[in-house]
């Protein structure tokens, strides 16, 4: 029975859904009144939760209305007014209709740890410099090599590690080679990373949503999207070379590279054993995922043990090096700052000063030159949990710098955001909105056929990435819509009456659009876009929203046209009868 949307609960649900998505695009900070800050700080200090505040200088605190707080408020409000209930929340976390958010996100975070750990060994940076050397002094050849390199890396490890490591590499590379501005290089990398993430189910959480929603095996998924991806990647290259960035100022004909083989600081592996271990582990994990995707084994049962194994390896590596440093200090009495250690890409080992080293018989008597204790008596600050846990974390981070830094770099904020979006979409479904959308979609496909199913879904998914709280929110909503559309065209025996070409075309057009949509209109079309913008800003490279739109739009247009056309031919070949 159809659910009516002509009631205030349904209207409130969709309004809060779009407000939650707007918060991703336009986050807002609101200052908290200083009187309230002082009051809360004193109360928390009395409870020993935070240190006693400085009476002269109180921190300025702002409330963040962003992609986590606004969806959370929306879910709580819908629960309070009875628009959704505990069953909806449970389905949004544990799953329904083939989509299992908790399993999807467990797989994503597990693979993210392995990929970031592999990146942390310096492997991607090392490989990038190796490719740069192979390009030689030819700017065009090097541009091509790096474009292909980022495509390959994006396929294997997904877009996030390529954005993390590749963006920092390009910022350094363009600076030392004098390429100003670095526009051509950073935009090709961003497009390549996001196009490549469509190939493997494990490369993007949006792919995981689709494979779960429609029970698609890893092999079948890749088989359907790899040819459209290759076609899009091939035709995007001349758009970059001959269209947008044909100026020799953007892509010089010749380069004076200063990247010699001995440049270990920038090009060498910081952890060769870790790079080998991580590479083998990632390849085995991906192989097992592909091999078991057809037999019904939950994917998280494959990836979580692999991530734990990688974490244990990082812990053992850190502990071993920590012991080596302690032995070195104990035998030579040299301050830790003077001991050479491997330089990590984004972390440094925090060490103690020489004054904290143990004294020996050759050391000066600690009682010599000591003045009366009363001259240096200091009252210990009161105990509080914030300081206690901060000191404990500092101690752990000092001993295990690799593991703790990788854990901090994990996209943990994605977890509450994704769960909340699943809940909100489930709320839309319960209020009848998804059913209404699916009827509109059904009418469109009935009029336009296979071409409309593929072209329409490709267009909608790209646009929705920009207005539905990143490509994750868009994929969740549109996957539900397609599920509803299929269920509306099912006979009494459970067989779908939809043209299989339209069905498969819509599903895989959504897969392509949810990945390619990341480089369309706004940074917030994907979390990778927000990350890319922030890394560039930290490196002193500022990309404006208008520039992002006008440069990415022709790239995305060509990529989607080529991929969609290839997909049309593909579904007609697969479903000949």
Instruction: Give the range among 121-125, 211-215, 227-231, 501-505 with minimum mean pLDDT.
Output: 121-125
**pLDDT score of 335:** 43
Global confidence as pTM: 0.77
What integer is the mean pLDDT of 271-287? 88
pLDDT in tens, 152-195: 989 987 887 788 778 878 888 888 788 889 999 999 999 999 99
Q: Give the Cα separation of 172 and 129 in Å (integer).
A: 11
Instruction: Give the residue among 449, 479, 457 at the shortest CA–CA distance from 575.
Output: 449
Averaged confidence pLDDT in the chain = 82
**pLDDT band at 202, cuts 50/70/90?**
confident
Residue 287: the pLDDT is: 83
Asked if the model's pLDDT at residue 309 lies above 80, the reply is: yes
Q: Classify residue 452 by burial, with Cβ atoms within 10 Å: 0-12, 13-18, 19+.
A: middle
pLDDT of residue 293 exceeding 80, the answer is no
Q: How confident is the model at residue 360 (pLDDT cuts 50, 70, 90)?
A: very low
Task: Give rounded-to-5 percent helix, strand, coil for the chain.
Answer: 70, 0, 30
pLDDT band for position 333 (cuts 50, 70, 90): very low
Please enumerate, as own/partner, the contacts of 7-15 that have beta carbons within 8 Å and a separation of 24 or more. Answer: 9/81, 9/82, 9/83, 9/431, 10/83, 10/431, 10/432, 10/433, 12/77, 12/78, 12/81, 12/83, 13/78, 13/83, 13/84, 13/424, 13/427, 13/428, 13/431, 13/433, 14/428, 14/431, 14/433
pLDDT of 52 over the 90 cut: no
Query: Does residue 443 lie in a domain region?
Result: yes
Task: Please work out, in degrees rounded to the nearest 5, the angle formed at the alpha carbon of residue 284 by the alpha carbons of 280 and 287.
Answer: 140
By the 10 Å C-beta count (0-12 exposed, 13-18 middle, 19+ buried), 116 is classed as: buried
Mean pLDDT of 546-564: 95
Greatest distance between any 2 Cα atoms in the chain: 97
Residue 114 has pLDDT above 70, yes or no: yes
pLDDT tens per residue, range 217-233: 889 999 999 999 999 99
For residues 205-209, give the mean pLDDT.
Answer: 87
Question: What six digits make up the tokens of 259?
Answer: 């990247």
pLDDT reported for residue 481: 93
3-state secondary structure of 96: strand
What residue spans of 158-217 are helical by DSSP H? 159-161, 167-176, 183-196, 205-213
* Mean pLDDT comparison of 115-129, 213-227, 266-280, 487-501, highest-scoring range: 213-227
Q: Considering only 9-18, 134-143, 286-295, 526-535, which range has the smallest mean pLDDT?
A: 286-295
Is residue 21 one of the residues assigned to a domain? yes
Kindly tell me if the per-residue pLDDT of 403 is higher than 80.
yes
Residue 428 lies in a domain: yes
What are all long-range contacts of 269-272, with beta carbons under 8 Å and residues at least 24 apart? 269/121, 269/122, 269/123, 269/126, 270/121, 270/122, 270/342, 270/343, 270/344, 270/345, 271/120, 271/121, 271/122, 271/317, 271/342, 271/402, 272/121
Q: What is the pLDDT of residue 54?
A: 67
Q: How far is Cα 250 from Cα 567, in angstroms, rounded to an integer?
A: 33
Distances (CA, A) of 8 to 5, 21, 78, 84, 543: 8, 20, 11, 13, 42
Predicted confidence (pLDDT) at residue 395 exceeds the cutoff of 60: yes
List the single range of 67-71, 177-181, 293-297 with lowest mean pLDDT. 293-297
**Residue 84: pLDDT over 70:** yes
What's the token pair of residue 520? 């369309």
End-to-end CA distance of the chain: 34
Bridge partners, 28 (sequence order): 65
In a domain, 560, yes or no: yes
Rounded CA gap, 269 and 255, in Å? 25
Calculate mean pLDDT across residues 98-103: 78
**Is pLDDT of 508 > 80?**
yes
Element (H, E) at 510: helix 500-516
pLDDT number for residue 324: 83
Mean pLDDT over residues 365-369, rounded? 37
In a domain, 543, yes or no: yes
Q: Is residue 325 part of a domain?
A: no
Please give the Cα distance from 510 to 49 (Å, whole number): 48
pLDDT at residue 380, rounded to an integer: 66
Which structural domain, as residue segments, surrounds residue 23?
8-97+414-574
- Token pair of 298 as six digits: 């939950």
pLDDT of residue 330: 61
The whole-number pLDDT of residue 267 equals: 53
More confident residue, 380 or 424: 424
Question: According to the model, what pLDDT value does residue 35 have?
Answer: 79
pLDDT of 261:
46
Chain position carrying tokens 């300025």: 60
Q: How confident is the model at residue 496 (pLDDT cuts 50, 70, 90)?
A: low
- Structurally, the chain folds into a number of domains equal to 1
pLDDT at residue 315, rounded to an integer: 93
Would the CA dihedral through 564, 569, 574, 575 be positive or negative?
Answer: positive
- Mean pLDDT of all residues in 472-493: 86
- What CA–CA distances, in Å, run from 246 to 93, 181, 544? 48, 13, 21
Q: Would 28 be classed as within a structural domain?
A: yes
In a domain, 203, yes or no: no
**Can you give the pLDDT at residue 366?**
35
* Residue 172, pLDDT score: 81
CB contact at 8 A, 100 and 107: no
Choose the most confident range, by mean pLDDT, from 391-400, 419-428, 491-500, 509-518. Answer: 509-518
Q: Give me 401's structure tokens.
A: 């710098």
pLDDT score of 561? 97
The values of phi and psi at residue 327, to 5°, are -65, -40
Whether the bond between 467 and the residue before it is cis, its omega within 30 degrees of 0, is no
């Amino acid at each position: 029975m159809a659910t009516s949307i002509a009631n205030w609960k349904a209207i409130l649900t969709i309004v809060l859904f779009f407000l939650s998505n707007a918060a991703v695009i336009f986050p807002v900070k609101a200052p908290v009144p200083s009187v309230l800050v002082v009051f809360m700080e004193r109360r928390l200090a009395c409870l020993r939760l935070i240190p006693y505040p400085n009476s002269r200088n109180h921190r300025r605190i702002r409330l963040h209305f962003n992609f986590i707080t606004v969806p959370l408020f929306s879910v709580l409000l819908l629960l309070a007014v009875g628009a959704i209930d505990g069953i909806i929340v449970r389905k949004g976390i544990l799953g329904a209709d083939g989509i299992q958010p908790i399993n999807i996100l467990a797989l994503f975070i597990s693979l993210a740890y392995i990929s970031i750990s592999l990146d942390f060994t310096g492997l991607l940076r090392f490989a990038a410099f190796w490719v740069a050397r192979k390009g030689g002094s030819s700017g065009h050849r090097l541009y091509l090599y790096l474009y292909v390199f980022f495509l390959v890396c994006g396929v294997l490890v997904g877009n996030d590690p390529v954005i993390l490591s590749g963006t920092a590499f390009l910022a350094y590379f363009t600076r030392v080679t004098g390429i100003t501005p670095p526009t051509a290089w950073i935009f090709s990398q961003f497009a390549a990373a996001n196009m490549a993430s469509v190939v493997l189910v494990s490369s993007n959480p949006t792919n995981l949503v689709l494979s779960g929603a429609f029970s698609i095996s890893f092999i079948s998924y890749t088989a359907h999207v790899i040819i459209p991806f290759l076609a899009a990647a091939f035709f995007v290259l001349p758009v970059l070379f001959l269209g947008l960035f044909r100026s020799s100022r953007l892509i010089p004909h010749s380069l004076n590279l200063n990247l010699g083989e001995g440049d270990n600081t920038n090009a060498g592996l910081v952890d060769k054993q870790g790079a080998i271990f991580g590479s083998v582990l990632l390849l085995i994990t991906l192989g097992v995922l592909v091999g078991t995707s057809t037999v019904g084994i939950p994917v998280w049962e494959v990836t979580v043990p692999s991530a734990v194994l990688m974490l244990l390896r990082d812990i053992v590596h850190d502990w071993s090096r920590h012991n080596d440093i302690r032995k070195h200090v104990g035998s030579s009495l040299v301050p830790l700052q003077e001991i050479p250690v491997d330089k990590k890409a984004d972390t440094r080992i925090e060490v103690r000063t020489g004054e904290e080293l143990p004294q020996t018989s050759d050391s000066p008597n600690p009682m010599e030159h000591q003045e009366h204790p009363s001259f240096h008596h200091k009252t210990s600050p009161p105990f509080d949990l914030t300081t206690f846990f901060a000191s404990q974390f500092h101690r752990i981070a000092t001993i295990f710098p690799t593991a703790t830094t990788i854990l901090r770099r994990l996209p943990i904020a994605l977890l509450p955001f994704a769960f909340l979006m699943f809940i909100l979409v489930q709320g839309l479904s319960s209020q009848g909105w998804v059913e209404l959308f699916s009827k509109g979609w059904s009418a469109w496909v009935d009029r336009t056929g296979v071409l409309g199913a593929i072209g329409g879904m490709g267009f909608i998914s790209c646009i929705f990435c920009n207005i539905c709280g990143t490509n994750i929110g868009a994929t969740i909503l549109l996957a539900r819509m397609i599920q509803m559309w299929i269920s509306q065209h099912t006979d009494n025996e459970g067989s779908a009456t939809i043209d299989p070409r339209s069905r498969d075309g819509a599903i895989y057009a959504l897969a392509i659009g949810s990945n390619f949509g990341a480089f369309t209109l706004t940074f917030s079309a994907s979390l990778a876009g927000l990350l890319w913008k922030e890394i560039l800003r930290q490196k002193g490279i500022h990309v404006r929203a208008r520039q992002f739109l006008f440069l990415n739009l022709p790239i995305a247009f060509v990529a989607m046209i080529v991929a969609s056309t290839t997909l049309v031919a593909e579904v007609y070949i697969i479903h000949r009868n």
